[in-house]
Amino acid sequence: MIWNVLTEHWWLPILIACISGHFTTVCVSLYLHRDQTHGGLTIKAPVSHLMRFWLWLSTGLNTREWVACHRKHHAFTDQPDDPHSPVNHGVLGVLFAGVYYYRKATKNMAVMEKYGKGVVNDWLEKYIFTKLQFVGVLTLLAIDIVLFNVGYGLLVWAIQMVWIPFWAAGVINGIGHYLGYRNYKVEDESRNIVPIGILLGGEELHNNHHKYPASSKFSSKWFEFDIGWMYIRILMFFRLAHVKISDMSK
């Protein structure tokens, strides 16, 4: 059986879960964030379809909901109407309950109507990724069990399910507005967590992004590295992505 190979070493399923988590982060950063939310990047098919499909499996995220919540965050960053600011909810509140504040914001139809405009709304989005929103994560659970057996499969699936709620909804929106360094003075508390943006797909360079949100490149200093931008450059080489804005002055 395939799980005899994948579970021969205890650390292998965890490594695979972390690699898949990184890919999920990249899909959120490149597709949902830089492409759909801010429009500085266009990812072409088939890569965009692959990313949407993987996000459906690994998160159950709805494109319109995610975009609307994030756009409102930029409109009211660290103000009372910010849907997930540690200034309002405390850093531990956002770090461990960021997904709760995200869900709360997306249930507001006025927020969805105002900030969710212009996102992809094709047949797949309507009838698969939205209507069958939670079928994806259950499908991934079944795949993990087939690949790893029940015990390791549940462990891998659990890591995949908490990856984005913790690292994106928690760390980026919490730590990224609480600790770190600032290249730019902005009217919020955004900070660059570290200058090397790898684990979180480049989203670690949060202050840079809040200064120039339309830029599809998040690094601005010579010592900073945005792995998301590296992936974008690779996609550009194969003509699978088109960058509209990469200048950090815009």
Number of folded domains that form the chain: 1
pLDDT band at 140; cut points 50, 70, 90: very high
Q: What is the mean pLDDT of the chain?
A: 92
Asked whether residue 15 is domain-assigned, the answer is yes
Tokens 């770190």 map to which residue? Answer: 180
Asked whether residue 232 is domain-assigned, the answer is yes
Asked whether residue 166 is domain-assigned, the answer is yes
Positive or negative, the Cα torsion across 206, 207, 212, 216? negative
pLDDT band at 94; cut points 50, 70, 90: confident
Asked whether residue 248 is domain-assigned, the answer is no
Asked whether residue 101 is domain-assigned, the answer is yes
Neighbouring residues of 95: CB distance < 8 A, sequence distance ≥ 6 = 86, 166, 170, 171, 174, 175
Return the pLDDT at 93: 81
Asked whether residue 250 is domain-assigned, the answer is no
Asked whether residue 216 is domain-assigned, the answer is yes
**Is the model more confident about 86 or about 22?**
22
**Is the model more confident about 96 or about 18?**
18
pLDDT band at 2; cut points 50, 70, 90: low
- C-alpha angle 141/144/150, rounded to 5°? 90
The structure's pTM equals 0.93
Answer whether residue 1 shows pLDDT above 70.
no
**Is the model more confident about 93 or about 51?**
51
Q: Which two tokens stand for residue 213?
A: 């949100």
Q: Which domain holds residue 54?
A: 2-243
- Tell me the pLDDT tens digit for each residue of 108-138: 889 999 999 999 999 999 999 999 999 999 9
In the chain, % of residues over pLDDT 90: 79
What is the per-residue DSSP string for 85-125?
Answer: -HHHH-HHHHHHHHHHHHHHHHT-HHHHHHHSTTS--SHHI
Asked whether residue 91 is domain-assigned, the answer is yes
